[in-house]
Amino acid sequence: MSIQCNHKDGLFYRQTAFDKARRVVIKVGSAVLTDKDGVNKEVIGNLAKQIAFLHNSGREVILVTSGAVAAGRQKLGVPFDKKLAIPEKQALASVGQMLLMHAYDEAFEAAGEKVAQILLTHSDLANRNRYLNVRNTVHSLFRFGVIPVINENDTVSIEELRFGDNDYLGALVSNLIEADLFICLTDVIGLYNGNPKTNPEAKPIYTVAEITPEVEAMAGNVKSALGTGGMQSKIRAAKLVASCGGSSFIGPGKEKAILQQLFSGEMIGTFFLPAKTKLASRKHWIANVVKPHGRLRLDDGACRALTQQGKSLLPSGIVTVSGDFGAGDSVECCNSEGRVLAVGLINYSAADIQKIKGVHSDRIEDILGYKDSDEVMHRDNLVVLQ
């Protein structure tokens, strides 16, 4: 299949996905929610009506929102062009989050809906037990008929543990709850095969069958006015959702009836089909949620065993060790050229692997004085990366 679908096939695929979608995650960015004066309550009111329309159609809906820092700037009179240090951003987020949720609470109440606030840090999802607890909380809110409103907890997130942008957070939430559809509302129409500002023949791409490097390169054709993510992060988010069997949509969030238009079959924005092979939930968590703490360079035989034969990683195939990690941490596996081939949960600390690298498994106990496993990384806890 081509990376793009023809009009007829694209219309069929997207309409089928929208009709069948029972669980939907909607991410709305700062470029949609804010203007030069701060958070736009008219936009929030329209968004609430749109989401209420979906909820009343029998679907479970989550809203992933940005805008806390912008709301804080507005409240405290901090100019929008002023660069902020991290503590200043965190302070403004703590002020703005209250205003943002108050605006959502009022807007959804007017639309006849109840909402709940969930603030997440990356560590909430990187810890497996907390990851599952978040999922259980969301499912409980669904049973109560409540719409969860999720944002990153900017007040306590430190730079190295941040999600990076809410496109990534929205994709992780989509896969966390096994959503059928991830809708990313932004200030651009969609993806183009060229830069529409410089190329009059550039055409919008309505349906993408597979997110290839060619598609990712097209993200540079579209520029967003605001927000931290940009089109490239939205394409990466769609790719993440596709890997777990979900569909995605990127399109104009300021269209007044955008959700009705989408679910009634109008060809607007860009729609992304699911990947042909679905990644299991635990494998997704290992590959995309947990941040690696180190790296192992493997010999050619170990690389083939992992990528072509579905084998576990043994100490004999390890050439070098880098990073400071403990047993249970996520570690990358790379070839002699430094290209990352796989990632997984390690059974031994970095210090111990330094001692047993290059040796056979039957020597582990003699060297370390104990042996928890013959494998340094078991294939059940390992994901080969494309």
Q: Are residues 256 and 300 in the same domain?
A: no
For residue 225, the model assigns a pLDDT of 46
Does residue 209 sit in the same domain as residue 329? Answer: no
298-309 burial: b if 16+ Cβ within 10 Å, else e:
beeebbebbbee
Do 111 and 196 have their domain in common? yes
User: What local confidence, expressed as pLDDT, does residue 36 receive?
Assistant: 73
Let me know the angle formed at the C-alpha of 283 by 63 and 288, rounded to the nearest 5 degrees.
Answer: 50
Taking only the tens place, the pLDDT of each residue in 47-80 is 999 999 999 999 999 999 988 888 898 899 998 8
Q: Which two tokens stand for residue 211?
A: 């997110």
The residue range of the domain holding 225 is: 7-283
Mean pLDDT of the chain: 89
- Residue 57, helix vs strand vs coil: coil
> Final residue of a domain: which of 283, 318, 352?
283
Task: Give yes or no: residues 314 and 188 share one domain.
Answer: no
Which residue, of 255, 283, 311, is where some domain finishes?
A: 283
pLDDT tens-digit profile of 102-134? 999 999 999 999 999 999 988 899 889 999 999
- For residues 119 and 81, state if they share a domain: yes
- The residue assigned the tokens 């809708």 is 183
For residue 229, name the pLDDT band (cuts at 50, 70, 90).
low
Same domain, 207 and 338: no
Q: Evaluate whether residue 1 is within a structural domain.
A: no
Q: Which of the four pLDDT bands, split at 50, 70 and 90, describes residue 228? A: very low
Number of compact structural domains in the chain: 2
Residue 227: the pLDDT is: 46
Q: Is there a single domain that holds both residue 317 and residue 270? A: no
Structure confidence by residue, pLDDT tens digits, 264-306: 888 889 999 999 888 888 999 999 999 999 999 999 999 999 9
The answer on 226 and 124 residing in a single domain is yes
